[in-house]
Chains A and B, each alone.
Chain A
């Protein structure tokens, strides 16, 4: 037997109580794991680059920019490549089934962030086979059950065609995987020339330019430089990194970070109170055990460590179960919900497990440590 065994046996002295506490901890960490995965994977933010810049209208993301800006941006010596895109949000079958489409020049997209999206020469060739060809991200393809060669019709929310209709027909030419699991692949890449030719208005405009700075160039400095270039033009710009853009985009709907903090904060505070309360009673209940250990010569610090070890033991088991379930949830539902259980999420959650385990054990542990032996015996 070791002191670790002793802590474990103390924890399992009341199996039902300990099991319920572990379930409680597991649920709290399941909530945390899922919400943190949602934050980490919030439609690609975690994988979005700080180096790739997006240039949008300073008047708002709904305002288009003239294609003519591209020439001036490309002329900047600090720019390695510049692409462009226009959005075509629509739905398939029912309005709730939203399908995002980015209409781009595939070759230019390949230069700017083809690596991050997992674009290959074969995919580029496939989309080049016809103007109505599209590449679908893996997450979207799985969610919709689409496969290569399939014809799809997307009804645009806003972008109307010249004939007045809003149904856009495409043929799936390929599926792109994304560079990593956290890359957003829940969208479709269409050809700008097809969309631009067919749309009724805003021709020869784009929603954003995508810039890849040359090596060694600070994205922040370049962003300021580009905005200065168009500051006095009819269409001033606002340049941000891809990551900043996505975060700002998400904040338009909700501050997901704040929501995650509030939800997990509430869960953890409740958990903290439940566990502290239960542990204080559990330790008080076996005051005589503490007293016996002290009379045997076990030091106050060892008593403190034993009680802390007990709560830590429960937190490690409960936390591991909760996080394993969250990871399983992210694997099975991740592609459609945008959950990414990244190593950072795991590391962060592990740190919380340890901190909460120690924090909740501290009050009962200090009580146990400080209770005089004679008083502890009387409490039996």
Chain B
């Protein structure tokens, strides 16, 4: 791994079997991303964006090749080690928020902290700070069903950053939001990247969303076909 590469994929191969046919997604994908970068990944459906994100999250594995993040080789880790790694190193922001409906906003945000050796008060304090950071102070007791899409996505972001991970993986974070809410979310991601130094990988179909990233990578048929700097 080069000293600058925080995320590194080498010769990654991945195929899915559909019926009797093997569909190749990646056949030797390479990628190197330095720490603190904010990358948007775009591409048509079936290009492998979600598969790439799943591999970076450790919830899917390559058939061959290596996936490294920081000092960890994900492709060689067992289920238990991957769970623990996810709990301590990454935050995931989903397109449809994936908040647990029976929990309040604060409880949803608190979930990742249950895995950490923190007292109830420490957890409450940290949840309060993060909700304040995403502009949801005072809405701790609200349930997701009583919040707008933008607010729910902010809870999702708060949940992703509450355990202070170095890497944020965002799967279409603005895909289900109106323009105003989407802009809010993108501003927040920019803030997290520029002010808090989080490395962010964002999969998106939306060129406006991609425009807020530092770089955009285009993925097609399992290969990055071009890279461009954001304006």
Say whether A associates with B.
yes
What is A's interface to B at a CB cutoff of 8 Å?
1-3, 5-6, 9-10, 12-13, 288-289, 291-301, 372-374
Nearest A-chain residue to B112, judged by Cβ = A296
CB distance from A17 to the nearest CB of B (A): 13
- How many chain B residues touch the partner (CB < 8 A)? 26
C-alpha gap A299/B84 in the complex (Å): 7
CB distance from B115 to the nearest CB of A (A): 6
A-B contact pairs, 29 of them (CB 8 A): A1-B103, A2-B114, A3-B114, A6-B114, A10-B102, A13-B101, A13-B102, A288-B98, A289-B100, A292-B98, A295-B57, A295-B86, A296-B86, A296-B87, A296-B92, A296-B115, A297-B85, A297-B86, A297-B87, A297-B115, A298-B83, A298-B87, A298-B111, A298-B114, A298-B115, A300-B79, A372-B59, A373-B59, A374-B59
B8 within 8 A of A: no
- State whether A1 and B107 are in contact (beta carbons under 8 Å apart), knowing that A292-B100, A374-B54 are contacts in the complex: yes
C-alpha gap A3/B103 in the complex (Å): 12
Tell me if B59 and A299 are in contact (CB < 8 A): no
Tell me if A293 and B111 are in contact (CB < 8 A): yes
What number of residue pairs across chains A and B have CB atoms under 8 A from each other? 62
Given A1-B123, A9-B102, A295-B92; 19 other pairs, CB 8 A cutoff: A1-B107, A1-B110, A2-B114, A5-B107, A6-B103, A6-B111, A10-B102, A13-B102, A291-B98, A294-B83, A295-B59, A295-B86, A296-B92, A296-B111, A297-B85, A297-B88, A297-B112, A300-B79, A374-B60
C-alpha gap A363/B169 in the complex (Å): 33
What is B's interface to A at a CB cutoff of 8 Å?
54, 57, 59-60, 79-80, 83-88, 92, 98, 100-103, 107, 110-112, 114-115, 123, 159
Please give, as numbers and ranges, the residues of chain B lying within 8 Å of A12 by CB-CB distance: 102
C-alpha gap A365/B169 in the complex (Å): 28
C-alpha gap A73/B179 in the complex (Å): 102
CB distance from A295 to the nearest CB of B (A): 5
C-alpha gap A1/B57 in the complex (Å): 26
Please give, as numbers and ranges, the residues of chain A lying within 8 Å of B92 by CB-CB distance: 295-296
CB distance from B154 to the nearest CB of A (A): 17
C-alpha gap A300/B84 in the complex (Å): 11
Tell me if A300 and B83 are in contact (CB < 8 A): yes
C-alpha gap A297/B91 in the complex (Å): 10
CB distance from B191 to the nearest CB of A (A): 22
CB distance from B166 to the nearest CB of A (A): 14
CB distance from B18 to the nearest CB of A (A): 14
Please give, as numbers and ranges, the residues of chain A lying within 8 Å of B80 by CB-CB distance: 299-301
Please give, as numbers and ranges, the residues of chain A lying within 8 Å of B54 by CB-CB distance: 374
